Amino acid sequence: MSLLQRLDDELKEAMKSSNRLKVSVLRMAKAAIKNRQIEKGGELSDDEIVSVLSTMSKQRRESIEQFTRGGRADLAESERQELNILHAYMPEQLSAEDLDRIILKAIEESSAKGPQDMGKVMRILMPKVKGAADGKAVNQRVKELLESKKVE
């Protein structure tokens, strides 16, 4: 079953069970997917749908951070609930050990010598971890590993 079909089926189920939050999140996701389809001029693959969901997840994480800083715990919690629903349709997130292993391999492949070679590493790395790891966290970890003695 394609990811789009799964979203459709679960939207119908959420509507039947009157789960307003899930209906709202899935409708937003379907709208974002439809917009991307219009931009592309054709159907999206599951990987492209995951990319759309990943963007939505990133927006939720940023909102949570902003609302928390602004003292709006109620809005931050609402965003957290939406994020949890979105995560159900994303690939399983990489563990810290798996992520480090993939990063070190990318560093080796790119022959990176230090932080100045971060772009080379990220070009190799991001297609491999797309949807399975937060880009901001990956970026931070690559920077730490490039600055550490492990690379030298």
| Residue whose structure tokens are 């966290």 | 137
Structural tokens at position 109: 């492949």
| Residue whose structure tokens are 């089926």 | 9
pLDDT of residue 149: 52
**Within a domain: residue 114?**
yes
Per-residue burial over 17-51, b if 16 or more Cβ lie within 10 Å, else e, is eebeebbebbeebbebbeeebeeeeeebeeebbbb
Number of domains forming the structure of the chain:
2
pLDDT of the chain, 152 residues: tens digit per residue: 788 899 999 999 999 999 999 999 999 999 999 999 999 998 888 888 988 998 899 899 999 999 999 999 999 999 999 999 998 888 887 888 888 888 888 888 888 887 888 888 888 888 888 777 877 888 888 888 888 754 44
Residues 61 and 113 in one domain: no
Residues 130 and 77 in one domain: no
Q: Which domain holds residue 114?
A: 96-147
Q: What is the pTM of this model?
A: 0.72
The residue out of 64, 87, 110 marking a domain boundary is 87
**Within a domain: residue 152?**
no
Residues 70 and 22 in one domain: yes
119: CATH? 1.10.10.410
pLDDT of residue 11: 94
